[in-house]
Amino acid sequence: MWWVNEVARIAIDDGVAYVAWPERGGEARSVRLDGAMLRDVRTRGGMRPVVGDWVEVSPDGIVLSLRPRRTRLARRAAGGQDVEQVIAANVDLAFVATAADGDVNERRLERYLALVRDGGVQPVILLTKADLCPDLGVERARVRSVAPGVDIVAVSAETGEGLAEVARRIAHGPHQRAPRGACVAALLGSSGVGKSTLVNRLLGETRQRVGDLRGDGKGRHTTTRREMVTLPGGGMLLDMPGMRELGLIDAGDGLEKAFAEVSALAERCRFRDCRHEEEPGCAVRSALEEGTIDAQRLASWRKLGEEIGARSKRRR
């Protein structure tokens, strides 16, 4: 038991219970929400602590308050509700994992990058299972086409390729990282891309359960809770379940950054409310006709923008 109120960091969130690390060191312990905070979360949509949050905890393990968040990763809550669900807080890096042996999906990557950018987090794309890819250059090019300026690291838990680079980035963190605490990197991606195996390799031990391959050669979903682990080389890694739904909500800033080249063109249109259809002086349509932007990329930008706009209107 702690003898005074402590500031602690949420390290494990399994949906109904928490484990927190005290800021000043010592053993982790189970904590639970204060009654008033729990009622606020359940009845008024109050802020619920998530992995990475700094909280004030009483000596008997009650979470009394939530400290302001520096960054966050958030999506639209599953099930079709127009409610924001924060899945991690105070994250410095977000590794977006996609398997190089057939999992690369440009449209899904765009959603992940918009989500990450909107939360103020620096993204890095991991091409996992690199040893199983017949032409890594082709997959890199596909990723680069939708992630200009974003670092790409090819990794293989089987051969060890890229593991040292991932560990180095986590240990040192991105530039201009807030000084409080070690760097925290989140590991995002669909189920079966090898996230838990990667975590085990970085830890140097089998900590996360890894499922057998399905009949199609893809990994099974195994991670069921959000958990932050300390790596031997420094820094912390947050492993999370694969996300089946990746709806965006109020992520206009993230969309602008994820589609920076299209957003920059839109700023050059003659009319501020240009819909990029038949209006004269449309820089976006001109670039499309000249072949300097990809038609699918533009269609995705429009679709995500309409999705975010429609949900924002429904929430007013």
Q: Give per-residue pLDDT as tens, 20-68.
A: 999 888 889 999 998 888 898 888 888 999 999 999 999 999 999 999 9
- pLDDT for residue 223: 55
Of residues 241 and 91, more confidence is placed in 91
pLDDT at 250 over 60: yes
Of residues 243 and 147, more confidence is placed in 147
pLDDT at 243 over 70: yes
pLDDT tens sequence across 260-297:
999 999 999 999 889 898 899 999 999 999 999 999 99
**DSSP letter string, the chain:** --SS-EEEEEEEE-SS-EEEEETT----EEEEE-HHHHHHHHHH-PPPP-TT-EEEE-TTSEEEEEPPPS-EEEEEPTTS---EEEEEES-SEEEEEEETTTT--HHHHHHHHHHHHHTT-EEEEEEE-GGG-S-HHHHHHHHHHH-TT-EEEE--TTT-TTHHHHHHHHHH--TT--SSSS-EEEEEE-TTSSHHHHHHHHHTS--S--PPB-TTSPBPP---SEEEEE-TTSSEEEE-PPPS-----S-HHHHHHHTHHHHHHHTTSSSTT--SSS-TT-HHHHHHHHTSS-HHHHHHHHHHHHHHHHHHHHH-
Least confident among 158-162, 179-183, 260-264: 179-183
Domain coordinates in residue numbering, the chain = 6-67, 88-239, 259-315
Q: What is the rounded average pLDDT of the residues 153-181?
A: 83
- pLDDT for residue 277: 87
pLDDT tens sequence across 91-105:
999 999 999 998 899
- pLDDT for residue 211: 52
- pLDDT for residue 190: 87
- pLDDT for residue 113: 96
Q: What is the rounded average pLDDT of the residues 213-227?
A: 57
Kindly state the percentage of the chain with pLDDT values over 90.
64
CATH for the 88-239 domain, from 3.40.309.10, 3.40.50.300, 1.10.357.10, 3.40.190.10: 3.40.50.300
Q: What is the rounded average pLDDT of the residues 106-134?
A: 95
- pLDDT for residue 83: 82
Please provide the average confidence, as pLDDT, over all residues in the chain: 87
CATH fold of 259-315 reads Ribonucleotide Reductase Protein R1; domain 1 (1.10.40)
pLDDT at 106 over 90: yes
Q: What is the rounded average pLDDT of the residues 173-182?
A: 60
CATH architecture, range 6-67: Beta Barrel (2.40)
* CATH topology match: 6-67 vs 259-315: no
pLDDT tens sequence across 188-217:
998 889 898 999 999 987 665 555 444 454
Q: What is the rounded average pLDDT of the residues 147-173?
A: 94
